[in-house]
Structure 1
Amino acid sequence: MGFINSYNPFGLMFTLFPIMFIIVFGVIIFSIVKNISVNMHNNKQPVIPVEAKVVTKRYNVSTHHHNSADNNMHHSSSTFYYVTFELNNGERLEFPVPSYEFGMLVEGDSGTLSFQGTRFVSFIRM
């Protein structure tokens, strides 16, 4: 009796698909649980006002490519805004901020930064 090659590409696909599905689903569930946990932690923290100065501003643009039903390529993007503040003691804190706040803040501005945990609340310029 000789060696019989029993390689079946569909068998491999049917094995890998459930594993990949479980991994992707697990990552999505983990992200949701982590975001809820961070949000709950921030909600329990006091709002802390401190004197601070705007040190730097940056943004991150994520571009997404989508194929539509009519086989045309569509592009979309998301922009996330971040501001780094320096406290009087030299400590620096970076927060994601809404776009309207980002546009109003200028590097070098001094004022009162209010934050709650890892969440930016407001910045009132002096």
Structure 2
Amino acid sequence: MFDGGPSMGGGFDFMFTAVPLLIGLVFVIMVIGIIFNTVNYARNARSPRETHFVRVAAKRTEVRTHTHHHHDDDGHMTPSHSSSTYYYITLEFEDGHRKEYTDVKKLYGMIAEGDEGYAAVQGDWIVAFERGRASVNGPL
């Protein structure tokens, strides 16, 4: 029977101990990330919608690239890449303070830096924007 011998015992013991721990750690981190994203989404969705007169102070994008490994027909690992682009709009309020919002309604291409108008925000999201100063209560 093969017993691994004295030269193989330490390395295999480490692998059988460390690899399951690392896999477990990655799984826990992924679960925590999913929970965090779900809680953050729910918090924004439950937040009241508020309308403010603002100036668009800045816009920015963030591109996140993901690499996935798949087995091809020959059994070789081949990487595939995907990316997601996130859009952010920074608003400056009449009292001078600024806050960055995530664009969840695809407003990024229709708003320019320096635009003034009424912005509807909900939590960390910007959900509507209308240029100009219409009335005291705002149009949104």
TM interval, short-chain normalised: 0.7 to 0.9
CA RMSD of superposed structures (Å): 2.2
Deviation at 1:76, TM superposition (A): 2.5
1:27/1:117 CA distance change after superposition, 3 Å = same
Deviation at 1:15, TM superposition (A): 0.6
Matched, 1:80 2:82: no
TM (norm. structure 1) is 0.83
Secondary structure of 1:49's aligned partner? strand
Unaligned runs of 5+ in 1: none
CA contact (8 A) 1:81 1:97 kept: yes
Show the counterpart of 1:41: 43
Matched, 1:117 2:119: no
CA contact (8 A) 1:81 1:99 kept: no
Identity of aligned residues (%): 34
1:119/1:26 CA distance change after superposition, 3 Å = same
Aligned residues: 123
TM (norm. structure 2) is 0.75
CA contact (8 A) 2:58 2:113 kept: yes
Unaligned runs of 5+ in 2: 1-5, 133-140
Secondary structure of 1:33's aligned partner? helix
Show the counterpart of 2:111: 105
Q: Which has the higher mean CA deviation after the structures are superposed, 77-86 or 98-107?
A: 98-107
